[in-house]
A = this chain, B = another copy of it.
Amino acid sequence: MPDTVKILQDYGVSPTPQRIAVAEAVLHAKAHPSADDIWGIVRRQWPTLSRTTVYNTLNLLVGKGVLKPQIIKEGKIVYDPSAEKHHHFVDEKTGEICDIPWEAIRVTGEDALEDFEVLEYQVILRGNRRRR
């Protein structure tokens, strides 16, 4: 088990007790914890630690590259006609979403996953849209 303090220092984050507690919780979590999940975990040992500090720390860790935020669950929703399948490209600068034709991307291996019955999938690509 790697030293959490070392990790924080390596990424340029001053290892305060609160940050160590939050980092331990998120790095050792088995599932994909939300901010409030982490608050719940940390508070068991540290009841005074505030929700704000959890958010502060998570945003700091994301900014420093320790963590990667995943937008997977419910949240801000956009709508697509369900007519034809397609993938999505998200412009990192503007947030603009573009459709990518289904045939442009080939995905293989999804039917060989033993533990998962895959009913659907999509690829989300991120980067810079080229304009000319």
Residues of A within 8 A of B (CB): 26-27, 31-35, 38, 58, 61-62, 65-82, 88-90, 92, 95-98, 100, 104-110, 112-130
Contact = CB atoms under 8 A, between A and B. Distances in A.
A116 B92 contact: no
Secondary structure dominating the interface of A? strand
Contacts of A90: 72-73
Nearest to A71: B75
> Which interface residue of A58, A112, A118, A128 has the most chain B CB atoms within 10 A?
A118
Contacts of A27: 81
Nearest to A97: B32
A47 to B, nearest CB: 22
Nearest to A108: B106
Nearest to A128: B117
Contacts of A128: 116-117, 119
> Which interface residue of A81, A115, A130 has the most chain B CB atoms within 10 A?
A81
B104 A107 contact: no
Given A27-B81, A72-B78, A109-B104, A114 B130 contact: yes
25 contacts: A31-B96, A32-B79, A32-B97, A33-B78, A65-B82, A67-B82, A68-B79, A68-B80, A69-B79, A70-B79, A70-B80, A71-B75, A72-B88, A73-B90, A74-B75, A74-B76, A100-B113, A105-B109, A105-B110, A106-B109, A108-B108, A115-B130, A116-B127, A118-B127, A121-B123
